[in-house]
A and B are shown apart, each in its own frame.
Chain A
Amino acid sequence: MNRNKNISSVREWKGAELAGCWLLRFSLILVLFILGFIIYDLVSKGLEVINWEFLSDSPRVGMTEGGILPAIIGTFYVTLITIAFAVPFGVAAAIYLNEYAVQGRITRLVRMALRNLAGVPSIVFGLFGMAVFVKLFGFGPSLIAAGFTLGLLTLPVTVTAAEEALSTVPRSYREGSFALGATRWQVVRTVVLPRAMPGILTGTILGLARAAGETAPILATGAAFFLPYLPDSVFSQFMALPYHLFIMSTQHHDIAAVRPIAYGTALVLVVLVFFLNLVAVVLRRRFRSRAAKGL
């Protein structure tokens, strides 16, 4: 978009107009304040419980002591399955939309389905996952049932990111390869996909971040209140960071006593999600500036 279309700089605003300007600016400062407050609260109260033991130990003594290692590992495993499901599917669907399909009624329908899928409430994914993956497919409450459920939920993120990445590959690249006699799949495999890889990676990481923070879809598809052991197969139940936070703040028998653990869990979860988002943003920025230069 045209970045220099501003009517004027704020310095020229005067009187009542300046007051109006500040009114608008205040709304952004409010957003900043809300975010700042959340982060300050989590860091100031969460940091004191986070140490090596907290990150490397299992919960002990009725989850009132010990650490959150099983929840960290469980979140790691379930997001891996999510990505293993959502990325190949997402990239393939994006290749269909961007490289193969004739743009028309069908692609419009696919895109509309995608946007609606993105708007389905997360708890409805949970219901679907329970009915289909847990019961119908007979996976039981497990890593794989929860991973597939989260995979469906993150699909819109990965498809959209992959499509954006594919569309930044200049047309001339494809035309050049076609002119040399390459088939469509050869063009996609050797020319388009390698160029789009950083963008696809960005989408993958954004999907990871989204899946890692979701709670509602895993409530009945595999997340466990407490497990004395780590999951040993994809059919095991698992503990997960967001679910652990939910339990520690609402379901535990002594909520006041475990409040510090809840703060620590919340901080670990937020740091994890922020870190993933940050990586994605940095990757995207580098990718976009490279695409803008036409390299």
Chain B
Amino acid sequence: MPAITEKIMKIIFWLSGMAIIFFLAGIMFTLLSNSIPAFEEIGLKPFFTDGVWRPSAFAEPTYSLLNMIMGTFMVTAGALAFAVPVGIAAAAYLSEIASPWEREFFKPIVEILAGIPSVVLGFIGLVVLAPLLAAVFNIPSGINALNGAILVGVMALPTIITLAEDAITAVPGEYRHASLALGATRWQTIWKVTIPAAFSGISAAVMLGMGRAIGETMTVLMVTGNMIARPTSYLDSVRTLSANIAVEIGDVVFNSLHFHALFVVGLVLFMITFIVNLMADILIHRKPEVNR
């Protein structure tokens, strides 16, 4: 009897492990298979040629993703422009300078920030940041790409800080001591020795933060205005790939062309984040700088 239980349990656990691969593959397959009818009907080109996304237009629906890709790019780039320097500086401080007391104090703060639901950040963007931006830039509404970029930057910060700190902490103490012994100042040691030694780990942190920023949905949906026109500046309203799905997923007709086109948007979004995460993965597991 026990031998049979033993076999059954082994199979159950094996299946559960394989299920993880199956789920990821299932997501890919679902996105792809639901996109194919759209590709068959309208082809690949209309998605990537100049124009706007107007799939439910009565007369002549158009399916260009370009403005949305640009919107995603603007929000992500803006978010990283703010979150990367702040995040790396915070990680360097936590790892290299902070006293144990400061570390005990600041690390939970970073974790709490990571725990704030994105819909709550979106709400804050709506009620606090939008009026503030409107006043600062003297524009009628602060619902724009800049608002989204700032909030998504806040969302990406905890990811970048935590992972970059791990990477910097993992640099062996000898590196620092050697640098100091050669007469480098502490500041030089941090910027010329420690951080370069942790470079691939820090890049991975940035990539994962970027992955989060690209996929972030609710915050962006609530604060960027979701206009389909081509944005010309950060003070314009933009619509990102993720927000576009969220806007239209509620009332799209099942199995319509619009439905399948929406999966094309999902597929593009998935592929972008997949590649970014894969690059982060490769960077994390390279760790060539620590040869002991």
Q: Which residues of A contact B (CB under 8 A)?
A: 1-3, 5-10, 13, 16-17, 20-21, 23-28, 30-32, 34-35, 37-38, 41-42, 89, 92-93, 95-97, 99-101, 106-107, 109-110, 112-117, 119-128, 130-132, 135, 152, 155, 159, 183-186, 188, 209, 212-216, 219-220, 242-243, 245-246, 249-250, 259, 262, 266, 269-270, 273-274, 277, 281
A122 to B27, CA, bound (A): 12
B183 close to A (CB within 8 Å): no
Closest 4 CB pairs of A and B: A121-B215, A213-B117, A96-B17, A92-B16
Supply 29 A–B pairs (Cβ within 8 Å), ascending by A: A6-B97, A7-B97, A9-B99, A13-B186, A21-B97, A24-B93, A27-B89, A28-B109, A34-B113, A41-B124, A92-B13, A93-B16, A96-B17, A101-B17, A110-B21, A112-B281, A113-B25, A114-B20, A117-B20, A117-B23, A123-B249, A124-B31, A127-B31, A127-B262, A132-B26, A214-B117, A245-B120, A249-B123, A262-B123
A17 nearest CB across to chain B (Å): 5
**Which of B17, B20, B113, B270 makes the CB contact (< 8 A) with A35?**
B113
A152 near B23 with CB under 8 A, answer yes
Given A32-B106, A250-B126, A269-B120, A100 contacting B189 (CB threshold 8 A): no
A261 to B212, CA, bound (A): 29
A7 contacts across to B, CB distance below 8 A? 96-97, 176, 180, 186, 189
A8 to B179, CA, bound (A): 14
B14 close to A (CB within 8 Å): yes
A42 to B99, CA, bound (A): 31
B113 contacts across to A, CB distance below 8 A? 31, 34-35
From residue 63 to 101 of chain B, which have CB atoms closer than 8 A to chain A?
A: 85-87, 89-90, 92-94, 96-100
A232 to B6, CA, bound (A): 39
A25 near B93 with CB under 8 A, answer yes
A126 to B86, CA, bound (A): 32
A244 to B24, CA, bound (A): 30
**Which of A41, A89, A184 makes the CB contact (< 8 A) with B19?**
A89
B108 close to A (CB within 8 Å): yes
What residue in chain A is nearest B284 (Cβ atoms)? A115
A293 to B276, CA, bound (A): 39
A124 to B86, CA, bound (A): 29
A281 near B270 with CB under 8 A, answer no
What residue in chain B is nearest A272 (Cβ atoms)? B117
A242 to B119, CA, bound (A): 6
Main secondary structure of the interface of B (DSSP, over half): helix
B193 nearest CB across to chain A (Å): 10
B203 nearest CB across to chain A (Å): 15
B185 near A27 with CB under 8 A, answer no
B21 contacts across to A, CB distance below 8 A? 109-110, 113
Stretch of B45-53, B54-62, B216-224 on the interface side: B216-224
What residue in chain A is nearest B7 (Cβ atoms)? A185
**Which of B86, B169, B218, B269 makes the CB contact (< 8 A) with A215?**
B218
B residues contacting the other copy or chain, number (CB 8 A)? 95
B154 near A34 with CB under 8 A, answer yes
A100 contacts across to B, CB distance below 8 A? 10, 13-14, 17
A120 near B27 with CB under 8 A, answer yes
**Which of A41, A220, A250, A269 makes the CB contact (< 8 A) with B128?**
A41
B245 contacts across to A, CB distance below 8 A? 123-124, 126-127
What residue in chain B is nearest A276 (Cβ atoms)? B115
A113 near B20 with CB under 8 A, answer yes
What residue in chain A is nearest B124 (Cβ atoms)? A38
Given A93-B16, A119-B215, A281 contacting B89 (CB threshold 8 A): no
Given A20-B187, A24-B92, A28-B106, A123 contacting B217 (CB threshold 8 A): yes
B31 contacts across to A, CB distance below 8 A? 124, 127-128
**Which of B119, B124, B169, B270 makes the CB contact (< 8 A) with A120?**
B270
B277 contacts across to A, CB distance below 8 A? 115-116, 119
What residue in chain B is nearest A265 (Cβ atoms)? B123
A5 to B175, CA, bound (A): 11
From residue 220 to 263 of chain B, which have CB atoms closer than 8 A to chain A?
A: 221-222, 242, 245-246, 249-250, 254, 262-263
What residue in chain A is nearest B244 (Cβ atoms)? A123
A31 near B110 with CB under 8 A, answer yes
What residue in chain B is nearest A18 (Cβ atoms)? B187
B124 near A119 with CB under 8 A, answer no
A122 near B14 with CB under 8 A, answer no
